[in-house]
Amino acid sequence: MSQPESPPNERHVEQPEGWVAVVRQALRGTEADYTSGPIGRALLLLAVPMVLEMAMESVFALADVFWVSRLGSAAITTIGMTEALLVQVYAVGIGLGFGVTAVVARRIGEKDPDAAARAAFQAIIVGIAASAVIAIAGFLWAPELLTLLGASPEVVEQGSGYARIMLVGNATVLLLFLLNAAFRGAGDAVIAMRVLWLANGINLVLDPALIFGWGPFPELGLDGAAIATNIGRGIAVLVQLWVLVRPGGRITVAKEHLKVRLAVLWRLVQLSATGTFQIFIPTLSELALIRLVALYGTDVVAGYTIALRVIMFALFPTWGMANAASTMVGQSLGAGKPGRAERSAWRAGLANAVFLGVIGAVFMAFAPTIVGFFTSEAAPHHWGVLGLRIFSAGFLFYGYGQVLVQSFNGAGDPRTPTIINIGCHWLFEVPAAYVLSQIFGPIGVFLAITIAFSGMAVVSGAVFRRGHWKSKKV
């Protein structure tokens, strides 16, 4: 039987301990039951390490384009176009992660850590299989893929090595995403934070060293950036695997869990397939969008890439709050407390919206200065400033949208956000980008992106209030 949904102790004024003490507990990785007690405290315990985890990712994303920009507009364009390919890999990792987080969180909520460990091992099997397919395709067709996106001959020549290295080494990012999804589902967000900090810390050191040949390192140019990224992520994955098999964690894979279990594997694939398709919808639309932007030349793509990297700098940390909400929703439903799950999502959404609203205002006001850190060339700077200001205009909506989409996924209902994504991205964003670009040029593409993501947040909120996600079985 499910537990009573809303015990009296969850409705009183939340005054446990000061927020500073809670933050300290969050950074130490204090054991906690997220299915009971004050919601604000539980969200803070989960969100602090998750936000810091993604903050380091955002710092690296900016540092990467900062160093690469020293190689010229063609190098920046290579990064942007390769990123459009790599987000398809991220889509697989994130989509599989949805299933892993949902299953692990539900099993932990049901107080069944053995079942959670079995699910984590099945996720590793799926991740290795998927990465092998992507690696083969990337090795064989990296130059052709860049050409398909509209890259100039200069960009194809300079960027093929970078794209091939990143695609062949995709197992590092896939396993990093999947294992962190398992840790988050178990409520062990601190481990996820630490391994991503390790990966990106190594990247930050190796990136300029391998690009420019600092000290004993060879000068590898753009290829050096790809090698640095894969080394950092690869080391982090090895640490994740060590933590996963080490006894005493919230989720521990032991010898008896190292078996292929078709029922668990199939359930993960079912949940992940829908989640992966859900992520593919916006990521494939990104391919269409950058293809449209490429029609206007390398300088426009360079400015567009800089604007997107700056936007990601703000959005990555807020994914931490969205992931915290996902874990709260999954564990609360597993504990038979749908009301707590709903309140957690709305509270996290409000925090995200306020934060991004402030950041968006700062970006709009100081866009010329911010873009100026990455390029002094007039044309890329012009388009970067325009893109940054237009994208930032929708930040208030983005905050809610992130949390609600992840909350559906945490509830084991990836189908709902998939349908919303199809409508917002392929029925609106891509057609609107084409039509508006015919009228306003590249600015039309920028406008379509902002309107689509804002609209998705509004639609997600309306559907979330209906509450069908509360009855999903995982």
**What's CA 275's distance to the chain center, in Å?**
13
- Measure the CA–CA gap between 304 and 443, rounded to whole angstroms: 10
- Measure the CA–CA gap between 97 and 14, rounded to whole angstroms: 32
- Measure the CA–CA gap between 296 and 293, rounded to whole angstroms: 6
- Measure the CA–CA gap between 291 and 114, rounded to whole angstroms: 47
Neighbours of 179 (CB within 10 A): 27
* pLDDT 10s digits, 92-143: 888 888 788 888 888 888 888 888 898 889 888 988 988 999 999 999 999 9
* Residue closest to 316 by CA, chosen among 26, 21, 122, 50: 50
Decide: 376 and 300 in contact? Cβ < 8 Å: no
- Assess whether pLDDT exceeds 80 at residue 338: yes
Burial class (CB in 10 A: 0-12, 13-18, 19+), 66: middle
How many helices, marked H, and strands, marked E, lie in the chain?
16, 0
* pLDDT 10s digits, 277-320: 877 888 889 889 999 999 999 899 999 999 998 998 888 888 88
- Assess whether pLDDT exceeds 80 at residue 254: yes
Tokens of 262: 């078709």
* Residue closest to 240 by CA, chosen among 297, 316, 181: 181
Per-chain mean pLDDT for the chain: 87
* pLDDT 10s digits, 45-104: 888 887 887 777 778 778 888 898 888 888 888 888 888 888 888 888 888 887 888 888
Neighbours of 366 (CB within 10 A): 13
What is the CB-side half-sphere exposure of residue 419 using CA atoms within 13 A? 7
pLDDT in the model for residue 462: 93
Decide: 437 and 292 in contact? Cβ < 8 Å: yes
pLDDT in the model for residue 151: 83
- Measure the CA–CA gap between 45 and 367, rounded to whole angstroms: 33
H or E stretch including 166? helix 153-168
Q: Is residue 329 classed as helix, strand or coil in its secondary structure?
A: helix
Q: For the chain, what's the residue count?
A: 474
Decide: 128 and 171 in contact? Cβ < 8 Å: yes
Give the CA dihedral 95, 96, 99, 105, nearest 10 degrees: -110
Q: 246: which residues sit within 8 A by CB, 6+ positions away?
A: 252
Tokens of 374: 């990455």
Tokens of 248: 């005493």
* Residue closest to 320 by CA, chosen among 199, 180, 448: 180
